[in-house]
């Protein structure tokens, strides 16, 4: 809880140290008259906040003229009736993103701008400093599931218990998975490098396995699960283990759509990337993308550079620049508050500032978003007048 005033308006504030935020934070903020208000733990100086049992009768000790050059702390005064027991917190929304990657034999074919489709996808994901997984691994839970229908490479990613679930087998479908985690570049890179293209495209089995590995379909207690996405990358006609050589398998196509639809109902959205597929596949991939419930079409990049751009666009949009508040703000009055990024004041509803997307979320925009997105240590400070806070 923080107390204070701009004029006669009581004020609450919150702070976020993105990537390192645990528990409460502190905000150093001077309002016009030089008053300093402490939020939560830490904060230094001599500022303190205390609250009573309700809005009426609450008090806060305020340090005025904070930061005097003569070394003195300043004078203190008491303010009453200030938003008692409200402590605003904001957290970066960290999504879980699972790449489901086709490694059938055709992915070894030449791709414009790269030696192969397989290599082009690797470069877009894994190239140090420019690949999306390396750039964003601190702010998103990345995982990968590689699939084909061969039986040469054994599954080497099983749970710590030492037993593989029945959807991870060394035969068709051959699936190699790395569960979504933060800072997961090394594990994904090692798996990708030792899993070259194989044979056939049992996509339905792969997608089903990937959805089961997402925590929303597990019993996860006392854990906040952020938004979840699957990015399905393929260049081939889906088939089953029973009909791996079939040119077009309507049943396999329908099963893919069924799994994607069921996942969307469970809150897992699926993006589709068609890597140089033939014309017969375009309508099917469009149908899969529609079932994925992202609002995006099936992407069809034809060169390595286009592929890298599409993946960056999807992942950046999925990670986003959203902050979740632990109390609601009245829409329409949010510009009475402030938001700072790394000590720079941002413009409310400005193209490079911030906006309130709903009562409990704000979003950074334009250049502010770009700065925030790739900086896991970005500092966001914000505060809103008490009388526009809605206690949930």
The residue among 289 and 46 whose pLDDT is bigger is 289
| Overall average pLDDT of the 269-278 stretch | 89
The residue among 291 and 378 whose pLDDT is bigger is 291
Domain containing 250 equals 94-319
| pLDDT at residue 171 tops 50 | yes
The per-residue pLDDT for 244 is 59
Label residue 30 by pLDDT band (50, 70, 90).
Answer: very low
CB count within 10 Å of CB 361 equals 16
The per-residue pLDDT for 177 is 93
| pLDDT at residue 47 tops 70 | no
Q: d(Cα 374, Cα 372) in Å, to the nearest integer?
A: 6
The per-residue pLDDT for 221 is 52
The per-residue pLDDT for 276 is 74
Q: Both 41 and 107 in a single domain?
A: no
- Residue 66 in contact with residue 74, Cβ under 8 Å? yes
* Pairing mode, strands 141-148 and 96-102: parallel
| pLDDT at residue 168 tops 90 | no
| pLDDT at residue 239 tops 90 | no
The residue among 78 and 163 whose pLDDT is bigger is 163
The per-residue pLDDT for 6 is 45
Q: Both 295 and 194 in a single domain?
A: yes
What digits encode the pLDDT tens for the residues 316-347?
988 889 888 777 889 999 998 888 898 899 99
Backbone dihedral angles phi then psi of residue 387, each to the nearest 5 degrees: -75, 0
**Residue where a domain stops, chosen among 319, 344, 367:** 319
Q: Both 151 and 187 in a single domain?
A: yes
Burial of 68: CB neighbours in 10 Å, binned 0-12, 13-18, 19+:
exposed
Average pLDDT score, the chain: 75
Q: Both 69 and 141 in a single domain?
A: no
Provide, for the chain, the percentages of residues in helix, strand and coil under a 3-state DSSP scheme, each rounded to the nearest 5. Answer: 25, 25, 50
The per-residue pLDDT for 220 is 55
Q: Both 132 and 175 in a single domain?
A: yes
Q: Both 105 and 145 in a single domain?
A: yes
Q: Both 184 and 243 in a single domain?
A: yes
Classified as helix, coil or strand, 317 is: helix
Q: Both 255 and 307 in a single domain?
A: yes
Backbone dihedral angles phi then psi of residue 43, each to the nearest 5 degrees: 95, -20
Q: d(Cα 153, Cα 144) in Å, to the nearest integer?
A: 16
With CA atoms as reference, report the closest residue to 211 among 289, 139, 277, 292: 292
Q: d(Cα 274, Cα 285) in Å, to the nearest integer?
A: 7
DSSP secondary structure string for all residues of 89-141: -EEE---EEEEEEE--GGGGS-BBTBS-HHHHHHHHHHSTTTSHHHHHTTTSE
With CA atoms as reference, report the closest residue to 207 among 314, 101, 97: 101
* Tokens matching residue 281: 């596949």
Q: Both 83 and 99 in a single domain?
A: no
The residue among 145 and 376 whose pLDDT is bigger is 145
Label residue 245 by pLDDT band (50, 70, 90).
Answer: low
With CA atoms as reference, report the closest residue to 104 among 196, 241, 240: 196
For CA atoms 234, 121, 292, 100, the dihedral sign is: positive
- Residue 124 in contact with residue 50, Cβ under 8 Å? no
| pLDDT at residue 76 tops 50 | no
The residue among 159 and 112 whose pLDDT is bigger is 112
Classified as helix, coil or strand, 67 is: coil
The per-residue pLDDT for 328 is 87
Burial of 64: CB neighbours in 10 Å, binned 0-12, 13-18, 19+:
middle
The per-residue pLDDT for 70 is 39
The residue among 157 and 259 whose pLDDT is bigger is 259
pTM for the whole structure: 0.71
**Residue where a domain stops, chosen among 319, 340, 375:** 319
Q: Both 253 and 107 in a single domain?
A: yes
| pLDDT at residue 258 tops 70 | yes
| Overall average pLDDT of the 188-209 stretch | 88
Percent of the chain with pLDDT over 70: 68
| pLDDT at residue 79 tops 70 | no
**Residue where a domain stops, chosen among 304, 319, 334:** 319
Q: Both 70 and 216 in a single domain?
A: no
Domain of residue 144, CATH code:
3.40.50.410
- Residue 377 in contact with residue 19, Cβ under 8 Å? yes
| Overall average pLDDT of the 94-113 stretch | 92
- Give the single-character DSSP code of 299: B
| Overall average pLDDT of the 290-303 stretch | 95
* Pairing mode, strands 96-102 and 5-6: unpaired
Q: Both 71 and 106 in a single domain?
A: no
What digits encode the pLDDT tens for the residues 92-103?
888 999 999 999
Number of domains in the chain: 2
């Amino acid at each position: 809880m923080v107390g204070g005033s701009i004029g006669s308006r009581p004020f609450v504030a919150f702070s976020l140290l993105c990537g390192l935020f645990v528990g409460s934070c502190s905000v150093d903020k001077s309002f016009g008259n030089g008053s300093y208000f402490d939020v939560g733990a830490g904060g230094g100086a001599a500022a303190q906040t205390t609250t009573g049992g309700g809005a009426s009768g609450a008090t806060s000790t305020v340090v005025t003229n904070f930061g005097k050059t003569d070394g003195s702390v300043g004078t203190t005064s008491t303010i009453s009736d200030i938003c008692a027991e409200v402590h605003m917190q904001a957290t970066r929304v960290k999504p879980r993103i699972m790449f489901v990657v086709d490694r059938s034999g055709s992915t070894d074919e030449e791709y414009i701008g790269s030696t192969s489709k397989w290599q082009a996808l690797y470069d877009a994901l894994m190239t140090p400093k420019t690949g999306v997984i390396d750039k964003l691994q601190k702010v998103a839970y990345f995982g990968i599931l590689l699939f084909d229908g061969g039986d040469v490479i054994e599954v080497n990613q099983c749970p710590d218990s030492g037993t593989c679930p029945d959807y991870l087998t060394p035969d068709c479908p051959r699936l190699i998975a790395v569960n979504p985690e933060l800072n997961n570049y090394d594990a994904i890179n090692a798996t990708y490098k030792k899993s070259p293209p194989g044979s056939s495209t049992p996509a339905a089995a792969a997608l089903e396995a990937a959805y089961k590995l997402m925590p929303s379909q597990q019993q996860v207690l006392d854990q906040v699960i952020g938004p979840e996405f699957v990015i399905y990358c393929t260049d081939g006609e889906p088939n089953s283990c029973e009909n791996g050589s079939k040119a077009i398998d309507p049943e396999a196509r329908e099963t893919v759509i069924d799994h994607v639809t069921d996942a969307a109902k469970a809150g897992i959205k699926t993006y589709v990337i068609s890597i140089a597929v033939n014309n017969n596949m375009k309508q099917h991939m469009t149908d899969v993308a529609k079932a994925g419930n992202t609002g995006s079409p099936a992407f069809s990049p034809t060169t390595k550079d286009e592929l890298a751009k599409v993946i960056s666009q999807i992942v950046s949009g999925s990670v986003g620049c959203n902050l979740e508040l632990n109390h609601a703000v009245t829409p329409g009055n949010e510009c009475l508050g402030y938001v700072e990024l790394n000590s720079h004041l941002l413009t409310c509803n400005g193209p490079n500032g911030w906006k309130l997307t709903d009562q409990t979320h704000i979003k950074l925009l334009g250049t502010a978003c770009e700065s925030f997105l790739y900086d896991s240590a970005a500092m966001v400070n914000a505060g809103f007048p008490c009388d526009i806070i809605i206690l949930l």
